[in-house]
Every structure is written in C-alpha cells, then in structure tokens.
Structure 1
Amino acid sequence: MRLAVLTGGGDVPGLNPCIQSIATSAWQRGWDVVGLRRGWEGVLEIDPSDPWANENSVMMLDKDRVRGIDRQGGTILHSSRCDPRVTDEGDQTQKVLDTLDALEVDVLITMGGDGTLRFSAYLSSLGRNVISIPKTMDNDVYGTDYCIGFSTAVTRSVQAINSLRTTAASHERIAVIELFGRRSGETALLSGFLSQADRTVIAEVPADMDVLLPLLLGDKQANPESYAICLVSEGAKLSGATDFADEINKSNTSRTGLNIGTQLAREIEARSDERTIVQELAYLMRAGEPDAMDRMVGFAFGALAVQLIEQDRMANMVCLTDGNYGVVPIGTLLEDSKGVNVSGLYDANQYRPNLIQVEGMPMFLY
C-alpha cells in the first residue's frame, strides 16, 4: 500500500504533526508514504513519464524526514493555492490522475481548506481513493466544528491584541486590529471574546459607523487609560460600502482597495477628534509552532485518516463534532457554508460576542 500526502491553501500550525502522524501510522502497517510538495500546483509540475525525477515536487516521508517536525509550524510539504480544473492550460484533472498512477499511489490524503478539499471531493467522485483533512485558521469548512490551525490562530491573536494595549494606552488612541477571516468571523469573534476587546466587527455583520463609533468613543472615555480596542475581520465591510467580495478573494498585493481596518480607522478619524492605530495581524496569526490543541488535533486527524484507509472507508473527511472525532462524506463541505451563528453568539447592536446559550455547546461554540 502506498499513500500520498498533500497540503494546499494557506499554511497553518498543526499540519506537520498531522503529516508525522500519518507517516508513523502508515509505517506501523508496513505502508509507504509519499509527500507531494507545493499542493496541486506541485503535482502539475511532475512529469508523469518520469515522476520521480522532480525532487522538488516528490519526497518519501521516511522516519528521518518526519522526525521532530511536529514541533515546527507551517508544512514541510509547502503549499499553493491552485485548482487543477482552472489553470491557464485549462482543466488538468487528467494530468493529476496520470501522475498519481505513475507514482503508484493507492490512496491520497489531502489537507486543506475549502478550495483544496473541493478538488479532493471531485477526485473522489471520479473513483479515486481520497481521504480529506480540514485545516484553516478561519475554521469555516462545513461539516466539522474544528479545523487544524484555528486554535493557534486564536492564541496568536489574543497575545498580539493584549500586547498592543500598551501602545494604544500610551498614545490614548483607538486601536483597530484586523484579523484574517474572509467569509467567516469566527476567529475574530473568539479572539475578541478571549482578549475582552471593546468591540468586534465580524464578516457576517456590516459596520454601521453611526452605531459603532459612539460605542467606541464611550469605551475610550470609560477606560481610565483612555484607549479602546476594536477588532475587525478582513472580510467585514462598512454599511453602504461597495461589496468587497472580489477584492477579498485576491492576494494582499493584488487588491486595489483599502483594507477594512484602514477604512474603519479613517472613518473614525473623519467623524471624530480621535486618533487611531491600525494593525493587521495577518500572517502572524499562523506563524510559528502549533499550540497544544492544534498539535493534539493534528496527531488525531492523521491517525484517524490512516485507520479509515485500513478499514477501506474511502471518500470521507475526518472531523470533530460536539467535541468528538468522527467522519463525514468527503463531499459534505459542498452542501453548505459555515460561519458565525450571529443570533446565538453575537450582539449585532453592540458589536460584541454574546454567549447567550453555553450549555450543550461544543468547546469552541461552533
């Protein structure tokens, strides 16, 4: 039996523990494990007629290669954002299939967010043996309560937010701190709750400055150190503003418009006498080694994936539901989208997390 492992989309802490867990579990069963580097883009760079010639795209995940990687952030397999169905050369799905055949891959294990896992589900629909593992610090893959990388992103964010309080206080300003979160505000919501930020603007609820600004001014006035903290998801927008959907799906360097943090800060300064500090946490949220939660989930997801293969239970995605590890069909994420339960977890009038109902909820509340 030969397994192939691939990581796609943005990197997150916890991927390397998962890779190590897959490799270790496979060796225990006498199986080989191949690492496909740079996601789907790397797969497309492999020549099916001589697949092993491209050392930059293929590596054997032996004991020496994965020893100690659980302590590292990112992914040793590197990553890319690529859908083989949509390239400059057209649909290259067949090349992916030919490459997997040439490498004699029996089962493919993919780790990714929405984009990577959608193509994984597509390969599964074509009859390929695929197991998928959800990872994204936005925690927005439908079908699982938890994705690898979410806990570390929240941990990093809370640490940074609390550190920025000293500067906001020293200069007596309103600090606008922007967090990743394109379509879902879960990371900002939980980070805002745990850091006790004054206000949190999530992607699901537009920011009405006629409501938000008086709240922030009141927060600053009530604070003995005369500052306020406002978090905002990168996918949020101001009420009445042009839809930012096309811009937010571009890379940071390709966007032509101002990021929401800067927009919000400019509105604060234009409508009041207050000065602001703007800070994008961005890639710092997923930099560095995984925290205990992501290391634990990474190990568990990897082991579960191999167990499913041993049981011949292909075409599945590993998941966490109500705090329990489980499995759902690989195409589950195609059925719906996942975001903040605004009515249950957020006060849209106060721009604050609002845990109305806690009993019976999973640990991360989603």
Structure 2
Amino acid sequence: MRIGILTGGGDVPGLNACIRSVVLSALDRQWDVVGFRRGWQGFLEIDPADPNSVATHTIALDREAVRGIDRVGGTMLHTSRTDPRTVKGGDRTAHVLDVLDKLGIDAMITLGGDGTLRFSAHLSAQGFPVISIPKTMDNDVFGTDYCIGFSTAITRSVTAINALRTTAESHERIAVVELFGRRSGETALLSGFLAQVDRTVISEVPIDPDRLIPLLVEDRLSRPGRYAMCVISEGATIAGAEVAADDRSLSNTQRQAEAIGGRLARAIEEKTGQGTIVQQLAYLMRAGEPDALDRMVGFAFGAMAIQMIGSGETGRMLALRDGNYCDVPIDTLLSGTKTVDVAGLYDPETYRPKLIHIRGMPMFLY
C-alpha cells in the first residue's frame, strides 16, 4: 500500500503531530508514505514523466523524516491555498488523478480547512480513496466539533490578551484585540470568555456602536486601573455601515479595507475622546509549537486515518463529536456552515458569552 499525504490552507500547530502519526502507523503495516509538498498547488506542478519534478514536489516519509516533528508547529510539507478546479486555465482534476495514478498512490490523506477538504470531497466523488482530516484555528469546518489547531489558537490568544492588560492599564485605555475568525466567531467567543475580557464581539452579531461603546466606557471607569478589554472577530461588521469588499483572502500587503479592530477603535475615539490600543494577533495565533490537546488530536486523527484505510473505509472525514472520535461522509462539510450558537452561547445585548445548560455539554461547549 502506498499512501499520499498533504496539508493545505493556513498552517496550524498540530499538523506535524498528525503527519508523524500517519507515517508511523503506516510503517507498522509495512506501507509506504509519500508527502506532497505545498498542498494541491504542489500536485499541479508535478510532471509524472519528469523525475526532477517529482523529487521537487514530493518527499518519501520514513521514521527518520518525521523524527521530532510533532514538537514543531506549522507543517513540514508546506502548504498553499489552491483548489485545482478553480486555477487559471480551468479545472485540473484530471491532472491530479493522473499524478496519483502515475506515482502509484493507493489512497490520499488530506489535512486542511474548508477549501482543501472541498476538493478532497470532489476527488473522492471521482472514485479515488480519500480520508480527510479537518484543521483550522477558526474551528469552522462543518461536521466536526473540533479541528486541529483550535486549542493552541485559543491558548495563544488568552495569553496575549492577558499580557496586553498591563499596557492598557498603564495608559488607561480601551484595548481592542482582533482575532482571526472570518465566518465564525468561535475563536473570539472562547478566547474572550477564558481571558474574562469586558466585551466580546463575534462575526455572527453586527456591532451597534451606540450600545457597545458606552458599555466599554463604563467598563473602563468601573475598575481602579481605568482600562477595558474588548475582543473582536476579524469577520465582525458594524450595523448600518457600508460593508467593505471582502479581501481577507489576500495577503496583508494586498488588502485595501481597514480591519474591523481599527474601525471600532477609531469609532470609540471619535465618539468619546478616549484613547485606545489596537492589536491584531493574526499569525501569532497559529505560530509556534502545538499545545497538549492539539498534539493529542493530531496523533489520534493520524492513527485513525491509517486504520480506516486498512479496513477499506475511505470517502470519510474524521471528526470529533460530543467528545468522541468518529467519522462522517467526506462531503458533510458541503452541507452546512458552522457558526456560533448565538442563542445558546452569546448575549448580543451585552456583547458577552453566556453559559447556560452546561450539564451534558462536551468540553468545548458546543
């Protein structure tokens, strides 16, 4: 058996732990593992008839190649945000299938977020054996309660938010901390709750400045240190304001629209004269080594993927539901959108998380 593996989309801590687990589990079965570099983009650059092309974009993964990588963040296979169906020149699904055939790959394991896994589902629909593994620090892949990278992103965010309190208090300002979370505000929700900030703004609920800003001013004046902390999702919007073109898929240097954290801070200063601090945690949320939970989930998902291929179960996406490891049809993510349960977990009037009916809920309060 010859297994292929790739990582796509944004990097997150825990990917390398999963890659190592896949490789060691496969080796125990005397299977070979081929790593494809740079996600689906790497596939498109392979000419199966050119040995140099194959060598540039693939790597044989043995025990030595994955030694110690679980302790390191990011992905040793590198990554890209590419869907072979939408590249310049048209749909290149046939090329991907040809590469798999010419390189003798019997099954693929793909680690990615919504974009990477959508093509994985498409590839599976063409009849090729695929197991997909959800990863994204936004935790917004539909069909699973948990994605690799989410716990570390929360841990990083809480640490940074609490560290920023000393500067906010020293200058007696209102701090606005912007976190990644384009469609789902779950990262902000949990980070804000665990850091016990004053107000948390999520992607699902538009900001009413006339309600939020007075609350933040009151929060600041209510404590001896004369500061307040607000966490906001990058996907949040201001009610009634013109919605800027969504250019968050572009690199920072190519974006034209002002980030929502800066827009909120400017509104605070204009309406109150109160100084602010704006901090985008951005890539720091996904940088560095994985925490214990992301290592654990990465190891478990990797071993599970090999076990399922061994039993002939493909066309599946691995998942965590209600605290249990399981699997769902690989195209499950196409059937819905994962967002915060506002009614159950958030109070839009006070811009604060709310926790009710805790008994019987899984650890991450879904």
1:229 aligns with 2:229: yes
Distance in 2 separating the partners of 1:91 and 1:48: 18
Secondary structure of residue in 2 paired with 1:35? strand
Distance in 2 separating the partners of 1:133 and 1:252: 27
Secondary structure of residue in 2 paired with 1:109? strand
The letter for the 1-side match of 2:28 is Q
Query: 1:232-243 to 2 correspondence within 5 Å?
Result: 232-243=232-243
Distance in 2 separating the partners of 1:223 and 1:42: 54
- Structure 1 residue 358, shift from structure 2 partner: 1.0
- Structure 1 residue 55, shift from structure 2 partner: 2.8
Matched with 1:324 is 324
Contact 1:177 1:261 in 2 (8 A): yes
User: Which TM-score applies when normalising by structure 2?
Assistant: 0.98
The letter for the 2-side match of 1:128 is F
Secondary structure of residue in 1 paired with 2:176? strand
Contact 2:177 2:231 in 1 (8 A): yes
- Structure 1 residue 176, shift from structure 2 partner: 0.5
Deviates more, 1:240-249 or 1:37-46: 240-249
Matched with 1:131 is 131
Matched with 1:205 is 205
Distance in 2 separating the partners of 1:120 and 1:161: 36
The letter for the 2-side match of 1:281 is L
Contact 1:235 1:248 in 2 (8 A): no
The letter for the 1-side match of 2:155 is T
Distance in 2 separating the partners of 1:170 and 1:37: 46
Name the Cα RMSD after superposition.
Answer: 1.0
Distance in 1 separating the partners of 2:111 and 2:273: 48
Deviates more, 1:301-310 or 1:86-95: 86-95
Contact 1:41 1:84 in 2 (8 A): yes
User: Which TM-score applies when normalising by structure 1?
Assistant: 0.98
Distance in 1 separating the partners of 2:349 and 2:251: 31
Matched with 1:253 is 253
Matched with 1:286 is 286
- Structure 1 residue 51, shift from structure 2 partner: 5.2
1:61 aligns with 2:53: no
Distance in 2 separating the partners of 1:103 and 1:227: 60
Matched with 1:103 is 103
Matched with 1:167 is 167
Distance in 2 separating the partners of 1:122 and 1:160: 39
What does the per-residue CA deviation read over 1:260-289, in whole Å, with 9 as the maximum and x for residues that have no partner?
000000000000020000000000001000
- Structure 1 residue 52, shift from structure 2 partner: 5.8
Secondary structure of residue in 1 paired with 2:98? helix
Contact 1:37 1:57 in 2 (8 A): yes
User: How many pairs does the alignment contain?
Assistant: 366
Secondary structure of residue in 2 paired with 1:355? coil
User: Is the alpha carbon distance of 1:312 and 1:52 closer, same or farther for their aligned partners in structure 2, counting shifts above 3 Å?
Assistant: farther
What does the per-residue CA deviation read over 1:93-147, in whole Å, with 9 as the maximum and x for residues that have no partner?
1111111111100000000000000000000000000000000000000000000
1:47 aligns with 2:47: yes
Distance in 2 separating the partners of 1:211 and 1:363: 32
- Structure 1 residue 359, shift from structure 2 partner: 1.2
Matched with 2:6 is 6
Matched with 1:75 is 75
What does the per-residue CA deviation read over 1:202-234, in whole Å, with 9 as the maximum and x for residues that have no partner?
000011100000100010000110000011000
User: Is the alpha carbon distance of 1:336 and 1:245 closer, same or farther for their aligned partners in structure 2, counting shifts above 3 Å?
Assistant: farther
Identical amino acids, percent of aligned pairs: 65
Contact 1:51 1:103 in 2 (8 A): no
Distance in 1 separating the partners of 2:244 and 2:141: 21
Distance in 1 separating the partners of 2:267 and 2:79: 37
The letter for the 2-side match of 1:268 is I
The letter for the 2-side match of 1:160 is A
The letter for the 2-side match of 1:293 is L
Distance in 2 separating the partners of 1:68 and 1:52: 28
Contact 2:179 2:281 in 1 (8 A): yes
Matched with 2:310 is 310
Secondary structure of residue in 2 paired with 1:121? helix
Matched with 1:26 is 26
Secondary structure of residue in 2 paired with 1:154? helix
Moved over 2 A (4+): 50-56, 242-254
Contact 1:48 1:95 in 2 (8 A): no
- Structure 1 residue 242, shift from structure 2 partner: 2.2
User: Is the alpha carbon distance of 1:244 and 1:183 closer, same or farther for their aligned partners in structure 2, counting shifts above 3 Å?
Assistant: farther
Matched with 1:156 is 156
Secondary structure of residue in 2 paired with 1:246? coil
Secondary structure of residue in 2 paired with 1:240? coil
The answer for unaligned runs of 5 or more in structure 2 is none
- Structure 1 residue 245, shift from structure 2 partner: 5.8
